Chain A
Amino acid sequence: MPERTDLVVIGAGPAGMAAAACAAQRDLRVLLIDEQPAAGGQIYRGLDYTDRVKLEVLGPDYPRGRELLDGLAQPGIRCLPESTVWQVTREREVFISRNGEADVVVADRIVLATGAMERAMPFPGWTRAGVMNAGAGQILLKGSALIPDDNAVLAGSGPLLYLLAWQYLQAGVKVGAILETTPRSNLIQAMVHLPGALRANAYLRKGIGLLRAIRRSRVPHFRGVTALRALGSAQVESVAFESGGNAHALPCSILLLHQGVVPNVQITRSLGLEHDWAPLPRCWHPRVSAWGETAIEGIYVAGDGGGIGGAEVAAQQGRLAALHAAQHLGAISVQECESQARPVRRHLAYHLAVRSFLDTLYSPAREYLCPSNETIICRCEEVTAGSVREYVRLGCLGPNQTKAFGRPGMGPCQGRLCGLTVSEVIAGARGVSPAEVGYYRVRPPIKPITLGELATLPLPDEQQLEAQDIG
């Protein structure tokens, strides 16, 4: 018989940690599963081990995660680190791969807290070694205290780019340049959302502080960057671009990219749940209730996996889902659930106030959403944007058809990295919205699993699989 538990939380970032702690405080038995060896998620990664230097460099927000980590020290919480969830079913079975073995847990409630990933930023040469996501730079910093050499170039758009630049400056790195791809027109459009954002002006102050520090540092800062190219042979050796009507080239061995983060929707997609196209952040959001519950009873989404809100929002959403789960399981009453949720919702509203402003201000440039024909957009299968456009010409209307025609999305990353780009490219070629084009049909396994592991699961009637004459 598979193990049963009250609540399975998938992902030990802010949403997952808060959900686990909140549920355990209300006497639920919680299993918290994460791929990493320690809880924290990407934002609080490496917080289990810090020193003074690291804390100074990473800034004041980073150690705030400690409170969430401390909340996990409760008898009701069992942590399952270094474990990969490869399937979740509508019957609330969670299939796990751990130490090379497959296992299954059945849960009364599930909170999916799988967080965000960086939006791909494809342009010619972005597949060269030495070109990485800005988030990868941050992970190297948090996890291994690694900082790049002096000529590292940061390119793209969005708060994380500035935060990383600021952190590198704190660490004494002489950043080679910041190449800002944000279209200049974004600022004007974002102004409409400024009054709302002022309700959460701590975010704005923080952002302005970062930008000011970067300006003071005299790091070369190019704005309105277009025609970005990573040049070199095996590795990136220089970056070429246009800015202000001039062509530029800078030597660099490390090029860090960022154009925002998007929800990781692999599990919600694999469950066949409805997702809505969010036109401002240009990504898909799984459809959930005010508690984060999906159309499948007892399966919740909390945190960035449901729509980007950041760490504070994620934690509050984790608590809401946990409260609702606790109420369903009879641990608290409906009235208790409502009254305990009230302050949580207040925090949530505060932290969400800034989103429209940020999403508009850092809306990615068209060029990196819908790259040029020569650009590889599926890194695994090395499929270019031009090929996808050719499949559209042949009659493909959506990404599942282009996948069949030329393999984009069929590699080991299972379409995670190319999914949004492929939908954008098809939409662009057809002259419709990505909402109409749709997204990959995501199927298990959520991550690749060996046949040996899979084979250890309980067997069906083997006769069913024997060869038969079926025409």
Chain B
Amino acid sequence: MPNGLSFNRLSERPGGTVTICFEGQPVTAQDGDTVAAALLAAGYAVTRTTPVHGVPRGPFCMMGVCFDCLLEIDGRANRQGCMVRVTEGLQVRRMAGARSASIGEADA
């Protein structure tokens, strides 16, 4: 559920919209958005819980410095949501604490 944080679009990009999937819910984003921007625009403030004390966090710096917007994107854990562009059908999930090692597993 989006939780009450609100950003509005000043203008729309003619390139059109992209739909990504966040925690199983469709999220409409603008072409050119980062995943973190798309989630904020859709009203999702909390994008992970920390591995230390399990507290909720959201995007903070939006420029790749703080690592607070870590997300699971297309099955890969702990990716910086502010550094990945949206593409159609992108599967995005919150990171809940520490990652699992089994994601992306393949034997050598």
- Could you tell me which A residues sit within 8 Å of B by CB distance? 35, 37, 42, 46, 49, 51, 53-54, 57, 117-118, 127-133, 135-136, 139-141, 143-149, 171, 234-235, 253-254, 264, 379-382, 411-413, 416-417, 447-448
Contacts and interface: CB of A to CB of B under 8 A. Distances in A.
A130 B78 CA distance: 20
Given A57-B10, A140-B37, A412-B70, A234 B46 contact: yes
Contact of B57 (A57, A127, A147, A381): A127
A130 B60 CA distance: 8
Counting from the closest, the 3 A-B pairs by CB-CB distance are A129-B58, A136-B62, A149-B6
Contact of A411 (B10, B34, B46, B67): B67
Contacts of B45: 129-130, 234-235, 253
Contacts of A143: 32-34, 37
A145 B40 contact: no
Contact of B5 (A53, A130, A382): A130
B4 A253 contact: yes
Given A135-B63, A146-B9, A416-B66, A235 B58 contact: yes
Given A149-B6, A412-B67, A133 B62 contact: yes
Nearest to B11: A53
B63 A139 contact: yes
B63 A145 contact: no
Given A136-B60, A146-B37, 19 more contacts: A49-B13, A118-B61, A127-B55, A129-B45, A129-B56, A131-B60, A136-B63, A139-B62, A140-B7, A144-B34, A147-B7, A234-B56, A235-B5, A235-B45, A264-B65, A379-B57, A379-B66, A382-B50, A416-B65
Contacts of B3: 234-235
Contacts of B64: 35, 447
B83 A235 contact: no
A84 to B, nearest CB: 8
Contacts of A127: 55, 57
Contacts of B55: 127, 382
Q: How large is the interface on B (under 10, 10 to 19, 20 to 34, 35 or more residues)?
A: 35 or more
B67 A380 contact: yes
B45 to A, nearest CB: 4
A412 B61 CA distance: 14
Contacts of B78: 412, 448
Nearest to A130: B45
Contact of B32 (A49, A131, A139): A49
Name the prevailing secondary structure of the A interface residues. loop
Contacts of A264: 65
Interface of B: 3-13, 15, 30, 32-34, 37-38, 40-41, 45-47, 50, 52-53, 55-68, 70, 78, 82-83, 85
A254 B5 contact: yes
Contacts of B52: 380-382
Contact of B60 (A35, A133, A412): A133
Contact of B10 (A133, A141, A382): A141
15 contacts: A35-B64, A54-B10, A132-B62, A133-B60, A133-B61, A135-B62, A143-B32, A144-B41, A146-B37, A147-B10, A171-B10, A234-B46, A379-B66, A416-B66, A448-B78
A132 B60 contact: yes
Nearest to A144: B37
B70 A146 contact: no
Given A129-B45, A135-B63, A140-B62, A146 B40 contact: yes
Contact of B61 (A117, A171, A447, A448): A117
Contact of A253 (B5, B32, B38, B63): B5
Given A130-B45, A132-B62, A382-B50, A146 B56 contact: no
A253 B2 CA distance: 13
Given A130-B45, A143-B34, A148 B6 contact: yes
Contacts of A411: 67
A294 B10 CA distance: 43
A149 B43 CA distance: 11
A53 B10 contact: yes
Contacts of B30: 144-145
A127 B4 CA distance: 18
B8 A417 contact: no
A140 B11 contact: no
A127 B57 CA distance: 7
A144 B66 CA distance: 20
B50 A413 contact: no
A46 B31 CA distance: 12
A329 to B, nearest CB: 31
Nearest to A170: B10
A417 B58 CA distance: 15
A413 B50 CA distance: 13
Contacts of B59: 132, 136
